[in-house]
Amino acid sequence: MKMGLIGLGKMGGNMRQRLRNAGIEVVGYDRDPALTDAADLADLVGQLGDSPRIVWVMLPIQAVPETLATLKELLGEGDVVIDGGNSKWTHDVPNAELLAEKGIGYLDVGVSGGVWGLENGYALMVGGSKENVAKALPIFEALKPEGPYGYVHAGGVGAGHFAKMVHNGIEYGIMQSYAEGWELLTAASAVDDVPAVFESWQEGTVIKSWLLELCVRAMQEDPNLDHIRGYAEDSGEGRWTVEAGIDLAVPTPAITASLYARFVSRQEDSPAMKLVAAMRNQFGGHKVLAEDENSRDDASDRLGEGAAGRAKA
């Protein structure tokens, strides 16, 4: 089997290798001349031979519209384009309709696995028609992990990216829970070895997971995380999950809170917390730190402050 793959970054490059390891011939294109197998998209499509030709797009959301417009002119009846990037699910039906004008099929595939996918395989959530899925099935079988799980035909066009969006929203909530637990453990004088506590949770507990294993790995490299700034970006899918919850009237408090926590991480000095501190000072006489004062009350002061604050409130 032969296919095209556009975008050979951290995930795309590893996907190309995993596919080749499975015996699938991959013609990759990337703007980096050190990575690409084709001079341009026309050259890539030309190397694929006769229809049905399959081209997998693994690009940032901003680059997808232009790429699909170009592929529409290069491909034809019976060919299939797969968008495997983190595209917004609401874009999928318009993308499919655009390509359908030339008889080109479209699949949206949510892909999870990160930099470990080459070794472990990629979890794939696929949206599109059964006919188009059948054409690409050998590709999915090569990319997915070994065993019965890690692949699902989730539904029609848009279902794959919607499922991946919800997956990432859940991921936000789990990561935030581990992070808050870590901070609480490090704040407690009763616990001497926080990394060892996390390590012990890897077996016999209901919270063991791959994310927990990655927490342990990070702490092994930097036990107190001293070399990491507390700043976290979001890929966009957490925001889309919250928006979908609003649109469908489905409450998502944990996912929403985890997204907002990432926003807080980007503020050097939260404007909102300035006013909270000012109000606490006004009603309870609680200490207010100056702009250049970084010290915090010790644990005993904070515990005492809670009782005093409640009395004064």
What does the block give as tokens for 312?
């004064």
Residue in 5, 2, 19 with CA at minimum distance from that of residue 143? 19
Is residue 65 within a helix (H) or strand (E), and if so which, with residue range? helix 64-74
Reply yes or no on whether 131 is catalytic: no
Task: Tell me which residue has tokens 């030339």.
Answer: 102
Contacts of 259 (CB under 8 A, 6+ apart): 172, 234, 238, 239, 242
* Helix spans in 101-158 (H): 117-120, 130-143
| Type of residue found at 17 | Q
Residue in 77, 90, 79, 72 with CA at minimum distance from that of residue 162? 90
Residue of 88, 164, 213, 233 marked active site: 164
DSSP 99: H
Q: Across the strands, what pairs with 124?
A: 111, 151
Distance CA 64, CA 99 (A): 13
DSSP 239: H
Reply yes or no on whether 268 is catalytic: no
Q: Where are the beta strands (DSSP E) in the chain?
A: 2-6, 25-29, 54-57, 80-83, 105-112, 123-127, 151-155
Residue of 171, 180, 203, 233 marked active site: 171
Distance CA 70, CA 96 (A): 14
What does the block give as tokens for 310?
């409640």
Residues known to be catalytic: 164, 171
